[in-house]
Chain A
Amino acid sequence: MKWITYTKLALKTLWSNKFFAFMSVVGVAVTILLLMLASIQWDNAISPKAPEVNLDRTLIVKRVKLERGNDNTWMSGVGRGLIGFITDSIKSAQTVSVFMSSELNITMDQGTSQHSALMVDPNFWQIHQFEFIDGRPFTQPEYDAKAQVVVINQNVNRILFGEESGVGKTMVIRGQVYTVIGVVADISITCHNAYAEAWAPLSLVMQRMNADYLGSLSVLYLAKSKADFSAIKSEVKEAERKINTTLEKDMRLFIAGPDTSLEAYFRGYGDPEEFNGAVDAWIDIIIRLLILMIIPTINLIALNLTRIDERKEEIAVRKSFGASRWVIVRQLLYENIVVCFIGGVIGLLVSIWCAYAFSELLFEPSWNQSFGHVDVHFSPYVFIGSLVFVFILGILSGIVPAYKTAKLSPALALKGGEQ
């Protein structure tokens, strides 16, 4: 019950200096807002959600690097020449899928609209769990036969066919007539591996690709469990080693990954060899957290230190009536945590509003030409993580001022003297 009294005292003390209260709460709220937005973005990129329900069991290779001598370096997506090496030979994976990003131009009376498309293989439908409103995905025989079939989302269906289902109807993509065989629910643009508005067989374009190591393909590996990740990674590295033995002496190939969703999110577009996987991802996260934490911590420390003078008399009274140094430290820390918590809750609420209000800015990948559907996913872990962050922030920003304040000599403080 004493904590209720402490909380009441903390709120009263906070309210007694409204400027301090405002500065402290706003400082923390802005920090939590930034942290939450970064976390929501991050969480939406790496957490499993429909149709990427297996994201936590999925690895991906999106980039390769090819070097000739010391001067020539090329970096791009996976080329067709690599596919045989890094798909069939990966025995630890439950399923392997190859896909490629593309675009779909829909010509209508009003003009042309551009939509994201993916050229995929049949395994793609096993790795991701799409919700089919009507129809079905294409089959292996259709894929092998290079059937001109396409699965579209509800949005494209609405544009082309209105409220009727487009299944069984035809549409023109780049001058070719395709038959719509499935309509799926719109998926969020935050599903980085599965997002598109139309999905067609990769076999239709595969033969037209050069058999180079560099290209524009990506490879997904579905593991039976996370425990198989290291085996899959080892097999891909072994495949890379074998490929390198077949290359000319001055050439070297490097396959980036395969990456977990976390690694893929933090890999960026720099030299793939300089990215150290999960270690770099966590270093990146910790640096971002520290940067986010340093500014409000310094702000709160400064504000709390300026309040020492103001609260000297109160602390001296508390000590006179039996508060030990530790009790004063604990009480001031608790007050600071309460301030941080209030700021944190405001930051959390504003961040939820921002996540919806500014979803285009927050979630639209730079490569996407047209804005797609966004489902903002809120993980309880992000909320719990933010509250833990608030708690740590409260302790870090409160400990030095609290300790300094608790050291005040009550006799001198009551006389108005300095420590």
Chain B
Amino acid sequence: MIQLHDVTKIYRTRSVETVALDSINLTVDKGEFISVMGPSGCGKSTLLNIVGLLDNPSKGLVTIDGKQWDKQSDKVIAQVRNRTIGFIFQSFHLINALSVTDNVEVPLLYRNVGSKERKRLVAEAIERVGLSHRAKHFPAELSGGQCQRVAIARAIVGNPQIILADEPTGNLDSRNGAEVMNILNSLNADMGATIVMVTHDENLAEKTGRTIRFFDGRQVQ
């Protein structure tokens, strides 16, 4: 499903060159749920950005479903992000001006889905994360756990094959963290979604199928 061949990412400023990822080789199979662990600044989020086609590697090859996408046009990459990938961020990144429903609808605005169908899919996704009673609320009116559930609903509304979760429980207490983890596990089990999750929490990592570890931009396990 996801393959990284000798992927290196270097951030350059005028005076400093930082190697964020150093010759990473990784394969994630379809339907797999893996966790990525490592200390802060070891390149975990950079890995997700590159897998999620939000950033390009400085060197190496990234393939999703056997195809290399990073050399494609912005429009094609945007389509892949829209149809194949769903993102969950540590700090939720919800659009504060929009209600829960409108936030969840965002991915569907960028594909040909009629208004009625959009409403149905959004309602389903919100129901799946147990927030139907908050559908008309705004992010500022929700708790952290509820915000993350909205973010999960947004990530799954378009039924993507891959979910990339960047420390999805990082800003949540243990109870909400466990709830989010349960949702992710059920997405993996019920929908067959391939999930790559960055986490600092060993307990959560244990609940995934496989854990890979990073240190200073290199994969150490």
Dominant secondary structure of chain A at its interface with chain B: helix
Say whether B135 faces chain A, with CB atoms less than 8 Å apart.
no
**B54 and A320 form a contact (CB under 8 A):** yes
Q: Are B89 and A414 in contact (CB under 8 A)?
A: yes
When the two chains form the complex, which single residue of A6, A321, A415 contacts B81, counting CB atoms closer than 8 Å? A321
In the assembled complex, the Cα of A326 lies from the Cα of B76 at a distance in Å of: 12
Decide: B89 and A327 in contact? CB cutoff 8 A: no
Bound complex: CA A2 to CA B79 (Å): 17
- Chain A residues lying within 8 Å of B114, measured Cβ to Cβ, are 1
Instruction: Report whether B110 and A327 are in contact in the complex, using a CB–CB cutoff of 8 Å.
Output: yes
B26 within 8 A of A: no
The one of B49, B78, B93 in contact with A317, judged by C-beta atoms closer than 8 angstroms, is B93
Interface string of A376-419 (1 = CB under 8 A from B): 00000000000000000000000000000000011100110000
Closest to B110 in A: A322
User: In this assembly, does B154 line the interface, its C-beta being within 8 Å of a C-beta of chain A?
Assistant: yes
Q: How far is the CB of A339 from chain B (nearest CB, A)?
A: 14
Stretch at the interface among A7-15, A40-48, A129-137: A7-15
Given A1-B115, A320-B87, A414-B89; A325-B74 close (CB under 8 Å) = yes
- Nearest B residue to A6 by beta-carbon distance? B109
A16's contact among B81, B86, B96, by CB below 8 Å, is which? B96
A191 to chain B, nearest CB (A): 52
A321 and B106 contacting across the interface, CB-CB below 8 Å = yes
Decide yes or no: A320 and B81 within 8 Å by CB, A9-B98, A15-B97 being known contacts. Answer: yes
Interface size class on chain A is: 20 to 34
> Which residues of chain A are near B168, meaning CB under 8 Å?
none
Known: A322-B82, A322-B107. A313 touches B93 (CB 8 A): yes
Closest to A409 in B: B55
A8 to B98, CA, bound (A): 10
Q: Given A320-B52, A322-B107, are A414 and B102 also a contact pair (CB < 8 Å)?
A: no
What distance in Å separates the Cβ of B17 from its nearest Cβ neighbour in chain A? Answer: 16
Interface set, chain B 141-179, CB cutoff 8 A to A: 154, 158
Contacts of B111 in A (CB 8 A): 322
Q: How far is the CA of A138 from the CA of B74 in the complex (A)?
A: 77
- Least Cβ distance of B112 to chain A in Å? 9
CB atoms of B54 and A411 under 8 A apart:
yes
**B110: A residues at CB distance < 8 A:** 318, 321-324, 327
Please state if B87 and A321 are interface contacts (CB–CB under 8 Å): yes
Q: Does B83 sit within 8 A of A, measured CB to CB?
A: yes
Shortest distance in angstroms between B104's beta carbon and chain A's nearest beta carbon?
A: 10
State which residues 71-105 of B face A: CB under 8 Å.
74-75, 77-79, 81-83, 86-87, 89, 93-98, 102, 105
List residues of chain A with CB under 8 Å of any chain B CB.
Answer: 1-2, 4-6, 8-9, 12-13, 15-16, 313-314, 316-327, 409-411, 414-415
